Amino acid sequence: MAGLNTNNITPPRWLLAELSYKCPLQCPYCSNPLDYAKYPDELSTEQWQQVLSQARKMGAVQLGFSGGEPLTRPDLPILVKYARDLGYYSNLITSGYGLTEAKIIELKQAGLDHIQVSIQASTEELNDHLAGTKTYLQKQEVARLVKKHGYPMVLCVVIHRQNIHQMPQILEMAENLGADYLELANTQYYGWAHLNRDALLPTREQFIEAEKIAQDFKEKVAGKMKIYYVVPDFYEDRPKACMNGWGTTFLTIAPDGTALPCHSARELPGLDCPNIKDFSIEQIWNESKSFNFFRGTEWMQEPCRSCDEKHKDFGGCRCQAYLFNADMFSTDPVCSKSPERYRIDAAINTAKQQALSAEEKPLVFRNSKNSRQF
């Protein structure tokens, strides 16, 4: 571990509070760890308040209440109010399942700033299949209620091979629902999505066609709807600037209080991620081994080390390097300068073969029964 120059540490700006791994949905691309069932513990209300207050003091201002499904926590309105009083700008990242109009009003009064509702597909049949739960109609209703009660309405649709053909209908749905923001998130292949990659990764042709449709739509709705388009990095030749650089901006707290430099970091070996029950947020952010592990550029190997773009993408994603190359210090294999790029191309080809074959591998849904196998 190198790069321990504490003078250059910037404070956290974004806090992702994963309140619970419990979720009524079973999306096969969930970003939670595969073995989440091993971590059933959840922080108490008081412990979350301590996290919120310590992180806010350091300068965190954007706050996401996430999970699992954050609505499974009965103390959510208490935490929302606490966060508002501290000056956070807070976001509820929800499936919408179980979100009643009364709750939407209660959360608004408590000071919630916006609600991001996920929708899995533009049709009821596919949405409910992907979610593993009947939720489509309720999600549509929740989206309308979010708008009705004056929240900025953010729709999030995760894009992959099972729904990418619906791109025109997904955009039409977002327009009809009056979304202020639409997040078109091409699946990032970690956690459950990594496991199901062969069934989820679109072909290059599908991706190019869908991207064109989305770009045209973006121009059409400019000024009315803002579109966040998360690119699938497999089809890029440079890696994403993951987390805006390790330990520079983002802090994730998992349901059991484990502090993570990114929400997938639990997959990486030997990081010894600290718990908020043992250390303050300031100690965790500034002094812990895990938050300093990939700070700066000293940890890099070639070709990153001598690359003139290393301050732009920070070597890409550590989890992706680990998943593909079994070496978390290596260059993100997405990069065309990486000697391991062929692994990404092989993954693209394997998924394409799957797409063309008569017998597709079944999706492994994210639920406790499946999680216990890991």
Partner 1 sequence: MSINPELNLHFSTLHRLQWEEAQQKYVILYPEGMVELNQSSAEILKLCDGSRKLPEIITELEAAFATSGLASDITHFLEVALQNGWIEHK
Question: 63 or 131: whose CB is closer to partner 1?
Answer: 63
Give all strands of the β-sheet with 226-230 in edge-to-edge order: 226-230, 181-186, 153-159, 114-118, 89-94, 62-67, 14-20, 250-253, 259-260
Binds partner 1 (CB under 8 A): choice among 2, 41, 59, 301: 59
Stretch that binds partner 1, among 57-65, 71-79, 130-138, 335-343 (CB under 8 A): 57-65
d(CA 21, CA 17): 11
Residue carrying structure tokens 């994963």: 18
d(CA 294, CA 330): 11
Binds partner 1 (CB under 8 A): choice among 3, 4, 9, 13: 13
Residue 247 in the binding site for partner 1 (CB under 8 A): no
Q: Residue 275 forms beta bridges with which residues?
A: 258
Amino acid letter for position 208: I
Minimum CB separation of residue 308 from partner 1 in Å reads 27
Binds partner 1 (CB under 8 A): choice among 39, 89, 229, 329: 89
Q: Residue 301 forms beta bridges with which residues?
A: none
Binds partner 1 (CB under 8 A): choice among 7, 102, 125, 150: 150
Sign of the torsion formed by the C-alpha atoms of 311, 262, 180 and 83: negative
Binds partner 1 (CB under 8 A): choice among 9, 58, 78, 355: 58
Instruction: Decide: 263 and 17 in contact? Cβ < 8 Å.
Output: no
Which element (helix H / strand E) includes 201?
none
Stretch that binds partner 1, among 55-63, 132-140, 185-193, 260-268 (CB under 8 A): 55-63
Where in 173-202 is the site for partner 1 (CB under 8 A)? 180-181, 183
Binds partner 1 (CB under 8 A): choice among 76, 130, 131, 154: 154
Stretch that binds partner 1, among 23-31, 53-61, 322-330, 359-367 (CB under 8 A): 53-61
Instruction: Decide: 69 and 255 in contact? Cβ < 8 Å.
Output: no
Stretch that binds partner 1, among 19-27, 83-91, 118-126, 133-141 (CB under 8 A): 83-91
d(CA 146, CA 43): 28
Question: 162 or 187: whose CB is closer to partner 1?
Answer: 187
- Provide the terminal-to-terminal Cα distance of the chain, rounded to the nearest Å: 28
Residue 231 in the binding site for partner 1 (CB under 8 A): no
Name the site residues for partner 1 (rule: CB under 8 A).
Answer: 11, 13, 57-59, 61-62, 87, 89, 91, 113-114, 116, 150, 152, 154, 180-181, 183, 223, 228
